[in-house]
Amino acid sequence: MLLVQVLAGLSVATCGLARSLPRKLNARQDPSTTTSAPDAQSTICGDVIAAVDEGFSVFWASDAYNCLISVPFNDAVASRFLKYWNETIQFQSTLAYVKDPPQGYQQPASDVQAGLAQIQQRIDDGSYKNQYDFEADFQLLTYGLHDGHVSLTAGALSAFSFASPYEIASVSIDGVQAPRIYITDDIIQSQNEAWTPSPITTIDGIETVEFLTKYAALNSWGYVEPHAEWNSLMSHPTLDIQGGLTTFAGAGTFYPGENLTFTFENGTEPLETVWIAIYNELANYTGPLTTGGDFYNYFVLGLLPESFDPTKVVPPSFSGDLTEAPTNWTSDSYGAFPDNPSVAQSDLGVLRGGLVTGYFYEDISTGVLSLPSFDAIPDTIGNYSDAVTEFINNASAAGLERIVIDLQRNSGGATLLAYTTFKSFFPDLMPFGGSRRRSFELANVLGSTVSDYWTSLDENNPDDSIFKDELAADEWVITTRINAATGRNFTNWTEYQGPINDHGDTFSLTERYDLANEIFDTAAFDQWIPTMYLPNKTEWGVQERSWNPEQIVLLTDGLCASACSLFVEMMTHAGAKTIVAGGRPTTGPMQAASGNRGAALYSAFDLDDDFTFARSLDEPVTPATNATIPEIRDPGMYIKYASFNLRDQIRANETSPLQFKYEAADCRIYYTLANLYNITRLWYDAVDAAFTTPSLCVQGSTGFTKTNSTSTPPLPSATPPSLSPATLQHSSSTDATPPDGLRNGYGKPIGGNEITLCPSSGVCQDGKSQCKPITITCAGEGQRAVHACLPPCTNRKGSATCPGKCNILQTQESKKVGLERTVNFGEALYSGLCVPSVGTRKLGCARNASP
């Protein structure tokens, strides 16, 4: 996430934590302001940018929206972008399955190709009146894949995130009754003041559950069932320690309206406020922008104004040196996490690299290992694994009989950590870890070209040998990976590409990582070698298992994704139980890992670089390679970050992707008023339900797992979301002159949000990335000191804009709400710099991103 903490308007709760917010807001200071759409010459965008440069980060949503709908639309630029995305999304592994999902899939079907064609038709028909309408349609289609590996941060929509100024939480009174929705601050304060908060009955005049269900379906992207979408709206202490924002109170994509009103069951005065918009960039990063046309140039075309002054840019800087690293998460979680962890990874903290903590409870003979993320900065991966090993050794020495692995809010990260953590618990087992990709001409030409080139490199030639080692884990080198059907390495891409006909599409054979190959490991994992997968057992950090699978339970909230879902798959295949918390206020089962279950996130930037690399090879490139692989790909729009899922997770002897299987937890529990912000109480409740009192599981939530299956998956209830007509089709102006959308006076390109080597001048091209000395790892050469242009990132859009990891550096204090508005917003906003997860070709290495 990122560093920008808005502290304006906070009052202090009894617990001493700046979390509570005023319940009654002042009247609007500008009653004459209208929400009707301004034209393209409106200066509302300029007013916003001027306020940002004065130190404001938060605005009324209606002001941000009026800016967005003043941004003109250019059909030629939009068509070029659709062509680029259509070519990119062909590498998405799930197109056929999401178009026609199998039984058990809990989300609506989505025909991506047809959807793109419909958007192009609307462009041709002149249906789009402003850039916002076009981008909103496109994001709805993208979100319809319900795949967290599919993301696009680009254009005008990337400028703002929409939010409620109040966080909410979904909890049960007693763990049995259906959850109700509360203001989070009421829950925290009531725990300290011995009073019972009142649930919210309506939001904006609509029954609470109905409103939030629709809001979640529209804004909570990347989840395979509505239960997870629901949880992403809600407060959670693990999100607090990550420096994250909920979808409801910080990460909404689409304009929700102007006024926001909560009513309460006890009949107290309604809470009347407004929706807000959080600006996603930092002060002075855009230069002066005045009109919607100026906004278009910067956010859509990626052009800085000629008057941009880079000397005014103040980059995020690390503020953690001012204090010692904490040894617990208590303060950052508003008292939810205990202050006495038995194990704590070094350099713990929101502004630091530490993540892992462990807790021993001898009264219930249970150890709890908290893994809120696998998203570790490369330099800290060793410390992460050491903390896990320390926990296992100490918990085993203490004679603890049961283990809870807490994966709440774990959205993935380093694949290596999923593999090493699994092996630390089950050193005697080998996970399958199978995956496959779509097999089609462009992908196969690319794969054949790079794989054949890799094979041709002479290991006895020093230069070739280094290059070959660095390319060993490249996504388009297949001969270093194992054919799951034979147990031997693939001989060439032709063997790998199949095709396997399945579900109306064609796929490759199933591959597995060759983790026993140190050359592959070194290239794949930034020179970290998972020693427990090597043949020499004397190097293993854990020699034998301390607990059998039935003694281990994984606690999730359904938001587990990517590397986390891989870890859950490996652990449950070994026999560990799962228990999931929260979900919609209904009975019945809930899936343990409802985030992305794919095997490989891949960026459009990396794909473009792969095309360039393949075309640059002299031998053994054939004429067919250059005839098939595009020479130049013009995205039309300025893209900060775009990605897709390259490979599916596939089980042994199966063909259906794990993404589309119904994988219910063994047991589901509700969050309660007593345990949401008392994580120890939650762990005790989970242990009780999982090991002692199964009747505590939510009614109808058991009997759905592959180990105790007695029930068929529930029928899907989700419906495709749609935008309110009131927020679309406002009048603005299209801009067809000149046809490429460029304007005089704007000729300084920002460049993509990529991490590249600094130019000799030491000044990064985009004017906002910072040239910093960093250490990268190239597999064939080891560590290398370079100066790289590191783009800024924030916790509003940070995880979706970094081609690596957003390294949180500081909190950003904001003035009160911009444009002389009145509202109070108390969420922590963070900012930082993107750091590379691996060495890449653009940083001087031979190969691109690892698995």
Three-class secondary structure assignment of 96-152: HHHHCCCCCCCCCCCCHHHHHHHHHHHHHHCCCCCHHHHHHHHHHHHHCCCCCCCEE
- The answer on 610 and 490 residing in a single domain is yes
Residue 155 lies in a domain: yes
pLDDT in the model for residue 647: 98
- The answer on 217 and 85 residing in a single domain is no
- The answer on 291 and 184 residing in a single domain is no
CA atoms within a 13 Å half-sphere pointing along the CA-CB vector of 17: 20
- DSSP conformational letter for 300: I
d(CA 267, CA 826) in angstroms, rounded, equals 25
SS3 category, 639: strand
CA angle 734, 50, 746 (to 5 degrees): 50
Domain containing 78: what range? 38-159+280-312
Pairing of strands 505-507, 58-60: unpaired
Burial 283-303 (b: 16+ CB within 10 A, else e): bbbbbebbbbbbbbbbbbbbb
Residue 573 lies in a domain: no
Judge whether 476 and 451 are in contact, CB under 8 Å.
yes
Residue 793 lies in a domain: yes
Q: What size, in residues, is the chain?
A: 851
Q: What are the Cα distances from residue 115, in Å, to 91, 151, 233, 418, 754? A: 17, 16, 27, 35, 29
- The answer on 797 and 825 residing in a single domain is yes
Q: What residue type is 45 in one-letter code?
A: C
Judge whether 82 and 134 are in contact, CB under 8 Å.
no
d(CA 14, CA 185) in angstroms, rounded, equals 11
- The answer on 631 and 515 residing in a single domain is yes
SS3 category, 849: coil
Residue 358 lies in a domain: no
- The answer on 505 and 609 residing in a single domain is yes
Residues facing 645 on adjacent strands: 601
SS3 category, 235: coil
- The answer on 134 and 44 residing in a single domain is yes
Which residues, 6 or more positions from 629, have their beta carbon under 8 angstroms from its beta carbon? 442, 445, 446, 449, 611, 614, 615
| Helix or strand run (H / E) with residue 785 | strand 782-790
Beta strands in 155-299 (DSSP E): 160-163, 168-171, 180-183, 200-203, 206-207, 249-252, 259-264, 271-274, 276-279
How many other CB atoms sit within 10 Å of the CB of residue 679?
24
d(CA 191, CA 705) in angstroms, rounded, equals 36
Mean pLDDT per 10-residue segment, the chain (851 residues)? 26 30 29 36 85 88 95 96 97 98 95 97 96 96 96 93 95 96 93 89 97 95 96 94 90 94 95 93 79 91 80 61 69 88 87 88 98 89 93 97 98 95 96 98 96 93 89 96 98 97 97 95 88 84 91 98 97 98 97 96 94 79 74 88 96 96 97 96 98 95 74 74 57 40 36 72 73 73 77 61 63 49 60 71 63 53
Q: What residue type is 72 in one-letter code?
A: P
- The answer on 614 and 497 residing in a single domain is yes
Residue 54 lies in a domain: yes
d(CA 669, CA 683) in angstroms, rounded, equals 11
- The answer on 174 and 155 residing in a single domain is no
- The answer on 170 and 86 residing in a single domain is no
Look-up of token digits 């797992």: 705
With CA atoms as reference, report the closest residue to 821 among 29, 47, 35, 54.
Answer: 29
Show the tokens assigned to 42: 């409106």
Residue 130 lies in a domain: yes
- The answer on 526 and 619 residing in a single domain is yes
Residue 371 lies in a domain: no
- The answer on 181 and 201 residing in a single domain is yes
Domains in the chain: how many in total?
Answer: 4
d(CA 579, CA 705) in angstroms, rounded, equals 11
Judge whether 424 and 389 are in contact, CB under 8 Å.
yes
Residue 418 lies in a domain: no
Give the pTM: 0.87
